[in-house]
Amino acid sequence: MHEKTQSITKLILKAAERARRETSAEPEPDQIARVRWPVACTVGPGLEGAIACESKVGYVNGSKGWLVYRGYDVFDLCAHSTYEEVCYLLLHGELPSPDEFKAFKEKLVDYRYLNQTLRLLMSFPLEEMNAMAALRMGTNQMRQEFSYIDHRTGHPPKMDVIGSDEDSIPMETQPKGERRAIYEFKKRGRRKRMRMNRQLDDAAGLQAAYHLIAGLATIAAAISRVQQGKLPIDPDPGLSHAANFLYMMTGRRPTPQEERVMDVALILYADHGMNASTFAALVVASTLSDVYFSVGSGVAALNGPLHGGANQQVLYMLEEVLEHGDVKDWVGQTLSNGGRVMGFGHRVYKAYDPRARVLAPLAAHLVRGNREMEPLFKVARQMEKEVVSRLGRDKKIFPNVDFYSGLVYGCLGIDPEMFTPIFAVSRVAGWTARVLEYLQNNRIFRPRARYIGEFGKRYVPLEDRAGG
Ligand code: ACO
């Protein structure tokens, strides 16, 4: 499958071999047993340790550093599979047959065209917006490309495609010299009432998932183009998902090595248990909102620097440390001031993150001869040594997936602003797979907070309060 990029496959196989030598792939009995409700578990702040549902999508063994998608070790998927195949696997539970795979890829080709969404999105000042905010907006706007009825038939409404001819645009743009376009809004007609349990319709849910997997890459790439001061470009139906994503961002068809590197990164980020963004997506889905809103909330949760926002922060941190000049001193100062070193630590992994095991050698391979990235990589290596020697043994703090990914993306010429959107472009597979699975046995999420406030206070009218 990957004849032209054997060197990348070799790196992955070597990382896998090392991981298997250093850790054992034994499941944790309490994390794989069927849940009998009500379940007894010890819950910490931030719901640490809480069991919210059962899942067959993926498994993270935090004490061993082992990641599994639908029974397959992530190292094997990186070495032999593709992101498209992994998406199919996550959504359907099995690897596709050749015919199923062909049909799935054809759907993705179709769904990469998001004419209405891009037209609408382009009316916002994307170049001034945070890329994740723009991505979240685009994700929610995707809902209008494809109505629920279209999902049932599997046909997006091609006749609604908006051309580049301004006169064909149903909303009128009045460029009055303002920085933002001004619209005359069309009055909305009466809408059909939807059945309340519409999200339990498997076919519709799957079409929305395919649509979102294909579409998030198109939206993220378009945002990147606008932020570079360029117009978005159409996908190329002959390219893979990873190659298309790079092509739509850069305007240049990637080399086999670049395509493979992006593909591996997308596989590594595709799913990861009940992390904050997946949980956010599930909470929204559990209200029987729709998959688009769920993915939009996943994007929002991912944005934070304690979650997906860390990869961008890591690169800025490495630049700062390079400028500082003394890694040991910088780490010492940061830790003694109670600061966190970005790209280290994880709620679940108390061992080396298997994804970092792949991304570190990939980064090492790619930075060779790259004048900008090579010095940053050297800082990263020193930093890993320093942080692990201080915090590895006692606090089980090791590099996480985000520590080396920014260096990898940097070598592909991608702007740091796009690092977290790339995470979302990949993780949409896990979000949608888990949302569809959860909806099979849906129960609205509703934990409780202990009230520790006061009671019996007497209301004082505003004018009688002190300080006026
Ligand atoms: N740098 C320094 N110390 C750390 C770090 C870090 N990156 N991470 C954890 N610690 C320390 C804490 O200070 C704490 O020490 P203490 O017990 O002396 O108070 C101890 O390790 C445990 O930390 P918690 O905050 O309880 O761990 P938690 O599970 O809540 O946090 C998190 C996990 C948020 C990922 C944390 O490790 C962190 O902030 N890392 C940096 C940000 C980052 O890289 N995020 C990406 C995570 S991966 C992802 O989301 C894809």
Is the CB of 207 within 6 Å of ligand 1? no
Query: Looking at the structure, do residues 270 and 322 belong to the same domain, yes or no?
Result: no
Name the token pair of 1. Answer: 């499958």
- Atom index in ligand 1 nearest the CA of residue 334 equals 2
Q: Which residue has the tokens 């907006």?
A: 137
Helix axes 401-411, 354-367, angle to 10 degrees: 30
Cα of 345 vs centre of ligand 1, distance in Å, is 5
- CB 219 near ligand 1, within 6 Å: no
Do 94 and 114 lie in one domain? The reply is yes
CA 255 vs. chain centroid, Å, equals 24
pLDDT of residue 201: 56
Q: Is 314 in the pocket of ligand 1 (CB under 6 A)?
A: no
Are the C-beta atoms of residues 406 and 255 closer than 8 Å to each other?
Answer: no
Residue 189 lies in a domain: no
Domain region containing 368: 310-411
Q: How many residues does the chain have?
A: 468
Residues forming the active site: 307, 346, 402
Atom of ligand 1 nearest to the CA of 275: 50
Per-residue model confidence (pLDDT) at position 169: 41
- State whether the Cα torsion 147-151-156-157 is positive or negative: negative
Q: Does ligand 1 have an atom closer than 6 angstroms to the CB of 342?
A: yes
Q: Are residues 147 and 74 in the same domain?
A: no
Q: Is residue 187 part of a domain?
A: no
Q: Are residues 130 and 61 in the same domain?
A: no
Residue 111 lies in a domain: yes
Is 296 contained in some domain?
yes
- Cβ atoms 15, 76 nearer than 8 A: no
Domain check: are 91 and 225 in the same one?
Answer: yes
Look at residue 413 in the predicted model and tell me its pLDDT: 95
Q: Does ligand 1 lie within 6 Å of residue 235's CB atom?
A: no
Angstrom distances, CA of residue 89 to CA of 103, 112, 226? 14, 20, 33
- Domain check: are 14 and 137 in the same one? no
Give the model's pLDDT for residue 132: 98
- Determine, yes or no, domain membership for 257: yes
Do 408 and 261 touch, CB atoms closer than 8 A?
yes
- My answer on whether 131 and 231 are in the same domain is yes
* 89 and 20 both lie in a single domain: no
Quick one: pLDDT at residue 195?
Answer: 52
**Token representation of residue 155:** 């046909």
The answer to whether the CB of 216 falls within 8 A of the CB of 291 is no
User: Is the C-beta atom of 397 inside 6 A of ligand 1?
Assistant: yes
Q: DSSP string of 346-403?
A: -SS-SS--HHHHHHHHHHHHHHTT-TTHHHHHHHHHHHHHHHHHHHHHHH---B-HHH
Domain boundary among 372, 391, 411: 411
Token pair for 100: 């199923």
Distance CA 245, CA 33 (A): 39
Do 87 and 65 share a domain, yes or no?
Answer: no
pLDDT on residue 153:
64
- From the alpha carbon of 344, which atom of ligand 1 is closest? 7
| Distance from residue 395's CA to the centre of ligand 1 (Å) | 9
Q: Which residue's alpha carbon is at the smallest distance from atom 25 of ligand 1?
A: 347
Q: Is residue 281 part of a domain?
A: yes
**Are residues 161 and 33 both part of a single domain?**
no
Ligand 1: which atom is nearest the Cα of residue 347?
A: 29
In this prediction, residue 163 carries a pLDDT of 37
Residue 188's CB: how many other CB atoms inside 10 A?
Answer: 6
Inter-residue contact 105 to 84 (CB < 8 Å) = yes
For residue 452, being part of any structural domain is answered with no
- Give the residue, by CA position, lying nearest to ligand 1 atom 15: 395
Secondary structure of residue 53 in the 3-state scheme: coil
Number of domains in the chain: 3
Q: Is the CB of 324 under 6 A from ligand 1?
A: no
Same domain, 125 and 30: no
Whether 186 is covered by a domain: the verdict is no
Per-residue model confidence (pLDDT) at position 155:
62
| Chunked mean pLDDT (size 10), the chain, 468 residues | 90 97 85 93 94 97 95 98 98 98 97 93 95 97 72 56 40 46 57 50 82 98 97 97 98 97 98 97 96 97 94 96 97 97 95 97 97 98 98 96 97 96 98 97 95 97 88
Does 120 lie in the same domain as 75? no
283 close to ligand 1 (CB < 6 Angstrom): no
Task: Give the pLDDT score at 267.
Answer: 98
Supply the CATH number for residue 393's domain: 1.10.230.10
Ligand 1, atom 9, residue with closest C-alpha: 345
- Write the residue with the smallest CA distance to atom 3 of ligand 1: 340
